[in-house]
Amino acid sequence: MNISNIFSTTYLFNTDPGPFLPFAFKFMAIFFGTLVILGFVAKKIEDQNSFPPVKKFFYKLHRFLFTMGVLGLLYVFFREQGVYLLSTPILLPIWLVASLLWAGNILKYYFTDRPKREEELKNEADKKKYLPS
């Protein structure tokens, strides 16, 4: 296969592209499996953390990693089994765009919303220090 064919519409919308090459199958299965495992790790960190902004970040992260990993593994499974329409190559760029948008949302929270929320909680704790209980 020529590399320029990857971006052609006939390839992207091919309903029977055939299974992956062995190297591509192993790489994708390991990559998506790693995403699922990292999702479980993020869930474990979320459960151990009690500070709300950090807990929310790991909640968003574990949902992202687990969901994208499972969707990727499903795509690999459907491609290997030759499932009509669910193995079309266009699904991988759609997955990539969705992943980038979701990751951008998580990064936006981490760098903009989380510091503001931490500052609010710190100010609230400082105010409570001087109030009678």
pLDDT in tens, 52-103: 999 999 999 999 999 999 999 999 999 999 998 899 999 999 999 999 999 9
pLDDT at 132: 79
**Distance (Å, whole) CA 29 – CA 26:** 5
- Read off the pLDDT of each residue in 99-110 and give the average, rounded to a whole number: 96
Domain count, the chain: 1
pTM: predicted TM-score of the whole model, two decimal places: 0.88
Give the model confidence (pLDDT) of 24-62 as tens digits: 999 999 999 999 999 999 999 999 998 899 999 999 999
The one-letter amino acid at 17: P
What lies within 8 Å, CB to CB, of 28 at 6+ separation is 20, 72, 76
Q: For residue 60, give its domain range.
A: 16-130
Tell me, yes or no, whether 35 lies in a domain. yes
Tell me, yes or no, whether 57 lies in a domain. yes
Tell me, yes or no, whether 10 lies in a domain. no
Give the distance from CA 68 to its chain's centroid: 4
Tell me, yes or no, whether 81 lies in a domain. yes
Tell me, yes or no, whether 52 lies in a domain. yes
Tell me, yes or no, whether 2 lies in a domain. no
Tell me, yes or no, whether 55 lies in a domain. yes
pLDDT at 125: 86
pLDDT at 11: 87
Q: How far is CA 131 from CA 19, 61, 118, in A?
A: 67, 36, 20
The one-letter amino acid at 28: M
Torsion sign (Cα): 85, 90, 91, 92 = positive
Tell me, yes or no, whether 3 lies in a domain. no
The answer on pLDDT for 1 being more than 70 is: no
Q: Is 87 exposed, middle or buried (0-12, 13-18, 19+ CB in 10 A)?
A: buried
Q: With cut-offs at 50, 70 and 90, classify the pLDDT of residue 133.
A: low
Query: According to DSSP H, which parts of 1-133 are helical?
Result: 9-12, 22-48, 52-81, 91-108, 114-130
